[in-house]
Every structure is written in structure tokens, then in C-alpha cells.
Amino acid sequence: MAYLPNFLFVVVLSVAVAIFTRNIRQILRNIQLGRPTDRSDQSKARWNNMFRIALGQSKMVKRPIAGLLHVVVYIGFIIINIELLEIVVDGILGTHRVLAPYLGGVYPFLIASFEVLALAVLATVIVFWLRRNVLRLQRFLSDEMKGWSKWDADLILYFEVVLMGLFLTMNAADYALQLRETPGYIQAGSFPISQFLLPLFETTTTSKLIVFERVFWWAHILGILGFLNYLYYSKHLHILLAFPNTFYANLNPKGQFKNNSTVTQEVQLMLDPNADPYAAPPPAADERFGAADVTDLSWVQLLNAYTCTECGRCTSECPANQTGKKLSPRKIMMDTRDRITEIGPILQKQGEKFAGDGKQLLGDYITAEELWACTSCNACVEACPVDIDPLSIIMDMRQYLVMEESAAPTELNAMMSNIENNGAPWPFNNQDRLEWAKTTN
Amino acid sequence: MHIPTVAELIAKGESPEYVFWVGCAGSFDDRAKNITKAFIKILKQCEVSYAVLGTEESCTGDPAKRAGNEMLFQMQALSNIAVLNGYGVNKIVTACPHCFNTLKNEYPELGGHYEVIHHTTLLKQLLDKGKLSVEGGKFKGKKITYHDPCYLGRANGIYEAPRELIKKLDAELIEMRNCKSKGLCCGAGGAQMFKEAEKGTQEINEKRTEEVLKTDASYVAAACPFCNTMLTDGIKGKEQQEAVVVKDVVELIAEAKNL
């Protein structure tokens, strides 16, 4: 019976890690359903990007208030996780504060830092909640943020409040037991914050206090493991995916849109008077121009979708959105993720046999009206703190609309036929291109 | 004034240092033609060797690509590249950020490798080399605000050259609330210029115009013929054309020099 807690802990930990691994592999497989795109170049610049933008939060702090608040939670999250190491070892071995004897004078400093950070995170998370629910900042209230997205955002904050609260009460109970020189509770750590919670336990008997301490300890680690597995169902995957996402981000100038190489071959054949049209290899049957569904997008675009944490900086900078159009770059990313989550598992099971589910990203999730409202100004790409590129998806979907469905707005068809016939988007004769010179003095 | 074409220079056995890519707006749009003319005057005064393609120039394909028509874009691109490579062109200067972006970023992969430069960058270089002198003239002490074209700013990271030119006018450069990498679009990019906007609560150029008006500037400098049109329309819509004038950066310089 003495080993029952250890046994339970190992079982819970193994199950939690197993589910987490399964979920992460599911996400990776879904991402791999995207079309290939080569991002294996410029590794130095890519590492640099990741260090600056993900690790260094350089784009986060462009909005100083939200940025600095986020840095607090981010640093808190990373540092407090060091404590997790000790908790896991204690859980498996049935020890208590196992690292204390090895770390000597550093240990109290570490515990004190965790406590200060935990309080800072707690305070910051409350500010975050107030921004969403009391100040009601515009970018958290868009249409796509109603329902589950709103719940998800708040739930993550509640999770963090509870976890930080449990961490501090756990320490307070421990400290109270240490002060009472209870056997098994070694004198270790320094508790600059949780010492103020001591009065809570003043009248509690030692045996009850031990129960409290154990309950807080267990609740804290179960909470962490629960949160770990909640990530998969939430918008919160950026804490992991921000790193690969910034690594594989587009490093070219933002104005450079990719050229379709299949089109290049076709155009070269058209323009070459000596070309033999029958010598050309037939285009792949499943190859279509642009994107109608998530499987037409590249794996980087799908990674982008999973990385998005719905902060809405893209949408708040979008000129179309600011002037009341339906387009919201954040919604483009959320729709993409919802769709890949929907068909990813079916596709993996049925593979080649998958005949579709009667739905697609274009039309069922993202409407043509949203796509045509974009000015391709790159404000959304610039604004994203983790280098997500909603514009590339919009452009791929426009390409599908025009090249596969001939569904461009009428005025754009007129513009394109002008280019085709006169070499200019307006109906002017190309022979008049130098007319302006006649009136130049 | 005689405008040299590449064809005629090549026929004479000469070749220009720069091909001036005029662009559709600069060739056909009455307002943008003035930008072209102002730039030509400065090129001439600074004795820059240049020529235009004239009737051999065709749309770069930018609006077609942004509208989703990759086929038409590449047809335009490959034909233009055939012309440019046929003449052995090395350097291209243009006053249109859309042409600039497409020629510079999207043509190389299709076989068109040129040193492409925006006219504001060339002017800045001429200034630095001492070939171009700029004084305030009629703009001295005036308030000027600068609108960042998306395809020059965010798309290609060029924010400073146009600003430094404006500062040379002894004018007060006032920034709008959204400027540089956070600059608000004029509403024309991504082929929007050629269609009605989707239903919304406001036109984008109207919103940008409101930001312009808040600066209390008497001039708003643009560096793109399409931004120029959008802002001019926006200011007319607010009936402020007496108070604020839209000028391309090169027009400001040419006018300051009484060219």
C-alpha cells in the first residue's frame, strides 16, 4: 500500500503523456496532408527568425501593453516549468522536494523565483481576463470570436489562475508543515509570496494540513497534465508551434507572391513558336490551380493555422475589416484549422479512397466575398507576432476562383481582358503608351 | 522634349543605364502622367542615362496575379522578360511600387534578372552623390505628411528614402497615426483599384483620408500612382481639395526646383 501513490502517479503520467503524444502526432499528420513546399534553405536566417520572434518575442512587444503582459506570462511559464521536473521526480519516487539537498543555496532562490513569477502570472492573467470581459477590447469581440472561441480563450485564463493558485497554496501548506517540523517535510525553499497565506492554516490540525498539502500537490500536477491535453482542443498550441512556425516562415520580401511552375511550363509552350505541344507531359490529374480546400494548401499554411492563437492583431490591422467588410484574416486561419481538423482523420483513414464529404474550405467556410475584399496590403502578415501568413491563403483561393471556376468579379474580368488585349488594365490602345511624351516640355 | 526609347538607342549602338518602366498609370492616367513628366525632368537635369520602352512596354501582370489569374500574369511576365532580355537590360527604375515589386521579386524566377529600383530610392542616391540638389522652394515651412504605399513599405521595406527627400524640402514632415510598417492601405492594392469594394461601412481611402486630414498637413506625399488616385478621390469626397493637395514625392521635388 505504501507505493500506491507512486503507482497511481506513474499511471496518470503515462496516460497523460500517451494521449498528448497521440494528439501531437495527429496534428503533425494533418499538417503533412498539405502540399509540399521547400523551406529547407537559409537555415541560419531561419534559426535567427525563431530566436528573435518566438524566443525573443520581438513582434509581440510591438504593442507594448499586450506585449509586456505576454512576456510576463511567457517567462513565468518557462521558468515555473523547471519546478515541474522536481514534481514529476517526487511523484515517481515518492520523495518530497528531492532536488533540495542537491541544489543547496540555489534551491531557496529557485523556489522564491517561482513564487514571485507565479504571482506575476496570476496578476497578468487577471488583467488579460479584464481586457476580454470588462474592457471588452474590439479585437476580442469579432463575429468569429463568438461561442466556443470565446469560451476557449476564457477557459485558458481560468486554467492558469487555478494552476498558479494551487502552486502557491501548495507551497503555503508545505511551509506551514515545515514550520511545525512535521516529519517528511524537509526544511527547504523560500516562500516570499505563499508565507502570506499561512494565516489560512493557523487553526488547521497537522493531520488535516498534510491532507490539504497532498490535495493541492495532486490537483496542481493533474491540472498541468489536463492543460497539456487541453491544448489539442484549444487555440493555445502556439506555445509549442510558434517555434517551428517562425522557423519555417517565409523569408522573402512580403510583396513576392509565389509563381506557379505548372503555369510557367504552359506559358512557355504557348510563347515558343517551335514548341511541340504533344511533347509536353500531361498535367497531373489531381493538380488544380489555387486552393479550394485545405489539401490544396501547403503544409506551412496548415502549420500556420494550428499555430494561430486568435489574438486578432491581423484583423485589427486589416483595412478591409476596419472599414466593415466581411474579411477577417484571423477567421481565414481559424476556418483553415477547423477544416483540417474535420477532414484530417477521415483522409488518413480512407487515403486515396476519400471521395470528399460534400464540403470544402471555399464556400462552406470562407466565402468569395471575404476573399475579394482583400487589398493584399500585408498588414495582417506584418502584424502577426508569430509570422502567420493569412494573405497567402487568400491569394491561393482567389487563384482557384479565377482559374478553375472563372468566378472573378465582372469588373476584374474586364480589367483582365484589357491586359490581355491592350497590355494595360484599362481600355487604352498600347500604341498610345508614349502619348504623354508629346505634351512633355 | 524628346523621350529616348530603348529601341532607338540600341539602333544607334548605345544603351541606357536605366530603363524607365513607366507603368500603365504613368502612361495612360492623366494625373499619373504628371508624375512621369516630373520624373523625366529630374532625370534630364541630373543627366541620368535612361530610355523608355514605349509601345514595347506592357502591363507587368501585377493586377492579374493579385486577382488570381496566374496564367495571364505569367504571359505578361514572360513576354516582358523576352523584350527586356532581348535588349540586354540591367537596370530598371519605376515610379510605381506595384511594377517595382513585380519586376524585382517575381520576375527573377521566370528568367528576368534586373537591378530594379524605385524612383524615390534613385532620387535619394542622386542626392547623396551630389547630382541632385533639393531646396524647399514653395514648400519651405509647409506641413507635409507621407503615405506609405504597401508595395513599397511593408512589401519591400522601403520607408526612409521618400521621407529623407521630403525632409530636404525644409518642410515639416508630420507622420500619420498609422505609418511605416503600420501604414494603412489606400484601398487600391490587390486589384481593388479596378473593382467596387465589397459591402462595408466605409471606403478604405475615406478612412485613410481622415488620417491625412488629422495631421493638418497642406500636402500629402505619395510614392505610388494608385495611392495618389485613391487619396485624391478621398480628399475630394471630404471636400478638402482646397486644404490638402496630393503630390508624388518626385512632383514635390520638381516643383521645388521650378522644373
Domain boundaries, chain B: 6-124, 134-256
Chain A residue numbers with beta carbons less than 8 Å from the beta carbon of B5 are: 434
pLDDT tens digits, one per residue of A38-71: 999 999 999 999 999 999 999 999 999 999 999 9
Cross-chain Cβ contact B67/A290 below 8 Å = no
Question: How high is the pLDDT of residue A277?
Answer: 67
As a whole number of angstroms, the distance between CA A254 and CA A257 comes to: 8
Cβ of A395 within 8 Å of Cβ of B192? The answer is no
pLDDT of residue A281: 65
Across the interface, whether the CB atoms of B64 and A400 are under 8 A apart is answered: no
Question: Pick from A425, A431, A435: which is nearest to B59 by CB?
Answer: A425
What is the model's pLDDT at position A210? 96
Residue A441 lies inside a defined structural domain of this protein: no
Chain B residue closest in CA terms to A63: B182
| Residue-wise pLDDT tens digits, B152-175 | 999 999 999 999 999 999 999 999
Same fold, B6-124 and B134-256: yes
Per-residue pLDDT of A419-440, as tens digits, reads 999 999 999 999 999 999 998 7
Q: Quick one: pLDDT at residue A403?
A: 96
Q: Tell me: do A356 and A274 sit in the same domain.
A: yes
End-of-domain residue from the set A171, A203, A236: A236
A interface mutation test: which of B6, B27, B158, B211 has the most A CBs within 10 A?
A: B27
Task: Check whether residue A269 and residue A372 sit in a common domain.
Answer: yes
Q: Which of B40, B57, B69 lies nearest to residue A402, judging by beta carbons?
A: B69
Beta strands in A29-79 (DSSP E): none
Do residues B229 and B29 touch, judged by C-beta distance below 8 A? yes
Facing B196 at nearest CB: one of A290, A374, A411:
A411
Residues in chain B closer than 8 A to A441 (CB atoms): 1
pLDDT greater than 90 at residue A350: no
Chain A residues whose CB is inside 8 A of the B191 CB are: 412, 415
The CA–CA distances, whole Å, from A246 to A46, A55, B166 equal 7, 10, 36
**Average of per-residue pLDDT across A270-284:** 72
For residue A37, pLDDT beyond 70: yes
State whether A228 and A270 are in the same domain.
no
**What pLDDT, in 10s, does the model give residues A129-170?**
999 999 999 999 999 999 999 999 999 999 999 999 999 999
Least confident of A285-294, A318-327, A334-343, B101-110: A285-294
In a domain, A50, yes or no: no
Asked if the Cβ–Cβ distance from B67 to A325 is below 8 Å, we say no
Q: Let me know if residue A22 belongs to a domain.
A: yes
Q: Please indicate whether, in this complex, the C-beta atoms of A440 and B1 are within 8 angstroms of each other.
A: yes
Given an 8 Å threshold on Cβ–Cβ distance, is A319 in contact with B26? no
Question: What's the number of domains chain A is made of?
Answer: 2
How sure is the predictor about A285, in pLDDT bands with cuts at 50, 70 and 90?
A: low
What residues of A are in contact with residue B101 (Cβ under 8 Å)? 253, 255-256
CA A184 to chain centre: 43
> Quick one: pLDDT band at residue A2, thresholds 50, 70, 90?
confident
Q: What is the length of chain B?
A: 259
Q: Are residues A273 and A351 in the same domain?
A: yes
Write out chain A residues lying below 8 Å of B254, CB-based: none
ipTM, 2 dp: 0.96
Of B27, B157, B185, nearest to A377 by CB-CB distance is: B185
- For B61-80, write each residue's pLDDT tens digit: 999 999 999 999 999 999 99
Within a domain: residue A51? no
User: Confidence band (pLDDT; 50, 70, 90) for B186?
Assistant: very high
Cα–Cα nearest to B217, from B201, B240, B200: B240
- Do residues B98 and B151 make contact, with C-beta atoms less than 8 angstroms apart? yes
Predicted confidence (pLDDT) at residue A352 exceeds the cutoff of 90: no
Q: Do A433 and B57 touch (CB under 8 A)?
A: yes
Supply the mean pLDDT for chain B: 97
For domain B6-124, give the fold.
Answer: Rossmann fold (3.40.50)
pLDDT for residue A280 is more than 70? no
Average pLDDT over residues A176-180: 96
Residues of chain A neighbouring B224 (CB-CB closer than 8 A):
none
Residues in chain B with CB shorter than 8 Å from the CB of A289 are 70
Tell me the per-residue pLDDT of A204-221, one tens digit each, with 9 for 90 and over.
Answer: 999 999 999 999 999 999
Q: How many CB pairs under 8 A join A and B?
A: 223
Mean pLDDT for A166-195 is 95
For B80, counting Cβ atoms within 10 Å of its Cβ (0-12 exposed, 13-18 middle, 19+ buried), the class is: buried
- Determine the pLDDT at residue A134: 97
- Residue A284's pLDDT is 61
Which among A339, A394, A376, A344 is positioned nearest to A361, based on CA atoms?
A339
Range of A381's domain? 261-422
The three cell numbers locating residue B247: 503630390
- CATH assignment, B134-256: 3.40.50
- Binary contact (A414, B69; C-beta < 8 A): no
Residue A274 has pLDDT above 90, yes or no: no
State whether A231 and A286 are in the same domain.
Answer: no
* Average pLDDT of chain A to the nearest whole number: 94
* Shared-domain flag, residues A89 and A212: yes
Q: What percent of chain A has pLDDT over 90?
A: 87
Please, are residues A173 and A208 in contact by the beta-carbon 8 Å criterion? Answer: no
**Interatomic CA distance for residues B137 and A92, integer angstroms:** 80
The reported pLDDT for the residue numbered A163 is 96
- CB–CB of B68 and A260 under 8 A? no
Mean pLDDT of B25-48: 97
Q: Which amino acid is at B98?
A: H
Mean pLDDT, range B126-147, rounded to an integer: 94
Angstrom distance (rounded) from CA B199 to CA A326: 8
